[in-house]
């Protein structure tokens, strides 16, 4: 599958300033401020840049960290991991495999069944609600 590649100007035309700063420039939103940190709606959380189906609401949990947290990616092939040594820390950054959008970080302190906590910026996501 071909990766989605666009210029900064193209991404800026498609995203809000906050979405661009977070998803394309590896920013973060303040804790407890994002649209989805306390959202309990059912659906698929998609990449804000390309629409890839990254996480399902069934895997979302309240980690208390202030960002949407998931214990499992919807498809491991859609989320890439990278070593992040910014800000004097060593963390594992997660990005969208399809377009390279910065999503957040993954930590080994989540619940069963994976023990993982994907700590994801709301600005990197768009909830596609389930049809009832």
Q: What are the domain boundaries of the chain? A: 8-129
Task: Please give the structure tokens belonging to residue 33.
Answer: 């401020």
Backbone φ and ψ of 120, nearest 5°: -115, 140
Residues 65-92: pLDDT tens digits? 999 999 999 999 999 999 999 888 899 9
Q: What is the pTM of this model?
A: 0.94
Give the per-residue pLDDT at 116: 97
1: three-class secondary structure by DSSP: coil
Q: Which residues are catalytic?
A: 119
9, containing H or E segment: helix 8-14
Residues 14-63: pLDDT tens digits? 999 999 999 999 999 999 999 999 999 999 999 999 999 999 999 999 99
Task: Please give the structure tokens belonging to residue 121.
Answer: 């910026």
- Does domain 8-129 sit in CATH 1.10.10.10? no
Backbone φ and ψ of 77, nearest 5°: -75, -15
């Amino acid at each position: 599958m071909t990766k989605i590649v666009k210029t900064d100007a193209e991404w800026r035309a498609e995203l809000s300033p906050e979405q661009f700063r977070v998803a394309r420039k590896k920013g973060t939103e303040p804790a407890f401020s994002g649209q989805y940190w306390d959202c309990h709606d059912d659906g698929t959380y998609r990449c804000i840049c390309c629409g890839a189906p990254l996480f399902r609401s069934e895997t979302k949990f309240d980690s208390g960290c202030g960002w949407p947290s998931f214990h499992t990616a919807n498809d491991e092939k859609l989320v890439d991991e990278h070593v992040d040594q910014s800000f004097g820390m060593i963390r594992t950054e997660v990005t969208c495999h399809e377009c390279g959008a910065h999503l957040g970080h993954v930590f080994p302190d989540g619940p069963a069944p994976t023990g993982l906590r994907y700590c994801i910026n709301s600005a990197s996501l768009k909830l596609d609600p389930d049809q009832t």
